Structure 1
Amino acid sequence: MKQPAHILIVDDDDRIRELTKRFLTLKGFRVSGAVDAASARRLMDNLNFDLAILDIMMPGEDGLSLLASIRKGPARETPVMLLTARGQTSDRIEGLRAGADDYLAKPFEPEELVLRCEAILRRSAKSAPPPDEVEMSGLVFNAARGELKSGDQRIRLTDAELQLLTVLARNPGEPVSREDLAVLTSAGLERSVDVQVTRLRRKIEPNPKEPVHIQTVRGIGYRLMPD
């Protein structure tokens, strides 16, 4: 029988931590709790977790510091969701750049937390490493080499186009929000992401007006659909 996913929740607020533990347990997850970074490390040294949920604003060592250390340690592949205070955009950006898989602003609806947990666990279960190459209507993109080729001919990409295609290729078939694309590339602004997507479609799509590879996900952002 498949074991339920084991989730670690790290939050110094006893009420939020216990309520979150209780709700996730009712939804079928196995849940452990930690009051601070030191407690979380002890648990992670002795147990395997499928997902860690870290509050950013904790006394002493904060969630961003804990995230950075997780990404350098033996549990580096563990997916991480950050809990952020609403409006703390800089923390959210720093967290994504440090390797967070998702973020959720407080206060949050428990049902949304569950849906986000399930989405992260689905991604981590089916995508160990991202593919080395993706194929799109006769084109081949190799993210490691930063090359888009048609046969032996290399198709020139600007730095911004290469960054965008690389981020999308890390998660083939999965939507990536416009906000995250703005953060993770040099676009900086969501409207700049839209401009780069339009330009990239001209180089990739058989018909840029009816894109089949870089698809718009309404209300979210974009996803890359290889052949």
Structure 2
Amino acid sequence: MRILVADDDPVVREVVRRYLECDGLEVVETADGRATAAALERDDIDLAVLDVMMPAPDGIELTRAVRSGPRPETPIILLTALGEEEDRVIGLQAGADDYVTKPFSPRELALRVASVLRRAHPVVTTEDVLTGGAVELRRAARTVTVAGKPVELTAREFDLLAFLLANQRRVYSREELLAQVWGWSFGDLSTVTVHIKRLRAKLGAAHRIDTVWGRGYAWGRGDSDE
């Protein structure tokens, strides 16, 4: 698979490239927003790693452009400065699937890339359909429809919806969702909050994601404090 690594620091690009190539991945490098935008349009990219602070257009602008472009399903991992929670939240709202804070472990980033790729390109041999009201999710095809009309979701949004549909009426805390869907034992809980908000917006009136005060979220419980 082809991974785009976009960062204006050549040392970061070099280290990340070596780790990803050790995992058998092909790496395309870019150093600024314009070259990155061109690569996203020109090359068949399976996942993009974008630096938030890259020269304009920055990583967040590029994320928004991908989500509104011809290949909105392309997985995106953002690289953000340590402690810049606002950047992470804005990035997730823009449509990023994951983020890694700088300074970071190149091996951790490689593992995050592998995790997102597995979710975006699963090996499935049988069709597995999950439904909830007007919402229908097909795991094998990685598609979601509302009343028969397709809805475009990112890889993480799809995984979160699949988990909620597979466990309807059961309440999960943000910590539990972070562990079950993201595979993280710790992390920024706003990641879950932002993805829930995005799912509700994309599914519209068909969503049945309820907020259970003080406990978490559930699909179809019917006692939402939203």
How many equivalent residue pairs?
Answer: 166
Q: Per-residue deviation at 1:37?
A: 1.4
Partner of 2:181: 175
TM-score (norm 1): 0.63
Question: 1:132 Cα shift?
Answer: 7.2
How far apart are the structure 2 equivalents of 1:60 and 1:193?
A: 41
Alignment partner of 2:68 out of 69, 72, 94: 72
2:133 to 133, 142, 150: 142
Kept in 2: contact 1:71–1:77 (CA 8 A): yes
Give the C-alpha shift of residue 203 in structure 1: 4.0
What is the CA distance between 1:110 and its match in structure 2? 1.3
Q: Distance in 2 between matches of 1:54 and 1:16?
A: 12
Counterpart in 1 of 2:214? 195
Measure, in 1, the Cα distance between the counterparts of 2:83 and 2:70.
32
Q: CA RMSD in A?
A: 3.1
Work out which of the two has the higher radius of gyration on C-alpha atoms and give 1 or 2: 1
Change (3 A) 1:76 1:203: closer
Unaligned stretches of 5+ in structure 1? 135-140, 146-165, 187-191, 205-227
Q: 5 Å matches for 1:1-227?
A: 5-126=1-122, 133-134=130-131, 141-142=132-133, 144=135, 168-171=160-163, 174-176=180-182, 178-185=189-196, 195-197=214-216, 200=218, 203=221
Counterpart of 1:9 in 2: which secondary structure? strand
Structure 1 residue 30, shift from structure 2 partner? 0.5
Paired residue type of 1:85: A
Structure 2 residue runs without a partner (length 5+): 137-157, 167-179, 198-210
Q: CA deviation at 1:200?
A: 4.3
Q: Which amino acid aligns with 1:120?
A: V
Q: Percent identity?
A: 36
Q: Is the 8 A contact 1:7 1:29 kept in 2?
A: yes
Whether the aligned pair in 1 keeps the contact of 2:33 and 2:57 (CA below 8 Å) is: yes
- 1:108-156 per-residue CA deviation (whole Å, 9 max, x = no partner) reads 111111111111001001399xx8744xxxxxx23649xxxxxxxxxxx
CA spacing shift, 1:202–1:8, aligned 2, 3 Å: closer
Q: Using the alignment, how far apart are the partners of 1:11 and 1:51 within structure 2?
A: 14
